[in-house]
Amino acid sequence: MGFESGSLSFHAFYLSKGLTPDVMPRFAERALPPLKTLTGEQPLHGWAGPSHALDGDLTEAHCWRGDWLWFAHVTARKQVPPSYLRAATMAELEIERRARDVEFLPRAAKTEVRERVAEALLRDAQPAFACMECAVDLRRDRLLASALNDAAMQTLGPFFRETTGVMPVLCCPESAAYRLRGIDANTLEILNLSPNPDLPKPPDVPLGTEFLTWLFHRWERQSAVFELDGRECGLMFEGPLMVSGDDAPGCHETVLRNGTPLDSPEFGIALWNGKRLRRAKLTLTQGDIVASATVDALDFAFRSLKVDPPKKSADAAPGREPDALQGLPSLNTRAAKAAQAAEEGPDAKRRLAVDERLDRAAFYVDAFLHLYGQFLARREDPAAWRADLAEIQAWIATRSGH
């Protein structure tokens, strides 16, 4: 699954109570029901092991990896491809019209035919699966889940609570502000980031986009280095960038991509007109850990998080003949692969285990929330925030050419 290889996309959730590996029997009790019980359009919900959507092994031994419990929430439903359903319906309507020897079928007859065709096709349809990977961080009392839309989160939350007795709370700008600093966003002073005198005051405090704009300014004008748990870390922004503002004049979203979006004058103009940075690719580093993801400031969604170490150079070794088909991977024998591994030595990059990948994802979330906590410390102090705001407004004015 996605947590095991490739990039990770997820939301983080707070857990009010810590879980231990012995909770897995509760998940087994609510495992995905047998597919033979699937009828009509009514879906089946249940838990599955980490290997695939039909992995029924929900034991502690199978799902416990390092400091993580790894499993999946699966939804199964019978589904007929829309194009096939439409074609079959049109064919049946034509048969019915000819059987009645009429030019046009009555509306009631059309409805009856559509329902009959849909019911018949659903009866023989194969199940389709929607799988949300979940990983419980046993050290931090946190859940990472590949639920990226509201519908998925609304399905996951209650089902997780029914299973464990613990309701996961989405880690978003408002909940994180309360957890980190005890801040109620509604009590903060509302001020414009832009020095544009023609802008009205925003109706509420957009904490997430304020934070990402503040962090971009800090990275560009102040420092790209910060400390986490006594160790030095670094941060870097990359494009594409999305700036947004529901209260901004004109369009409410602008996407800057290709070329050099970080240096584009359009970015400064958008900030001048009341938009704030909503989405960007953010890289966080610590020691040999380099993790980068596209972060959405509205709900703290982390998309396409890359945590694996860079691959070793694929250049051919001196004296080795190039592949006959250039640009395609060679079909090496097992002996050749073993010989190549021996040549690379013990320092060659290895594939990370799933718990190591999740540990790096946890570092990314920790570092991101640590930076958010630094922003909140400034934001809740009126004097400190006005000092930061003066610098940000001067920066926006310079960026926009005013």
The segment with the largest mean pLDDT, out of 15-19, 221-225, 360-364, is 360-364
Interhelix angle for 207-217 vs 173-181, to 10°?
80
Q: Is residue 345 predicted with pLDDT exceeding 80?
A: no
Q: Where residue 202 falls among pLDDT bands split at 50, 70, 90?
A: confident
What lies within 8 Å, CB to CB, of 222 at 6+ separation is none
Give the residue from 311, 308, 271 showing the smallest Cα distance to 399: 271
Structure tokens at 225: 């280095």
Report DSSP state, residue 88: H
Q: What whole-number distance in Å separates Cα of residue 321 and Cα of residue 131?
A: 44
Q: What whole-number distance in Å separates Cα of residue 355 and Cα of residue 144?
A: 12
Return the residue matching tokens 């034991």: 59
Q: Where residue 249 falls among pLDDT bands split at 50, 70, 90?
A: low
Helix-then-strand count for the chain, H and E = 11, 13
**pLDDT, position 127:** 86
**pLDDT, position 49:** 95
Percent of the chain with pLDDT over 90: 59
pTM metric for this prediction = 0.84
Give Cα separations from 383 to 107, 144, 195, 379 (angstroms).
69, 36, 18, 9
Give the residue from 119, 25, 100 showing the smallest Cα distance to 63: 25
Total Cβ atoms within 10 A of residue 210: 23
Interhelix angle for 382-400 vs 354-379, to 10°?
100
Beta strand segments in 260-300, E: 276-286, 289-296
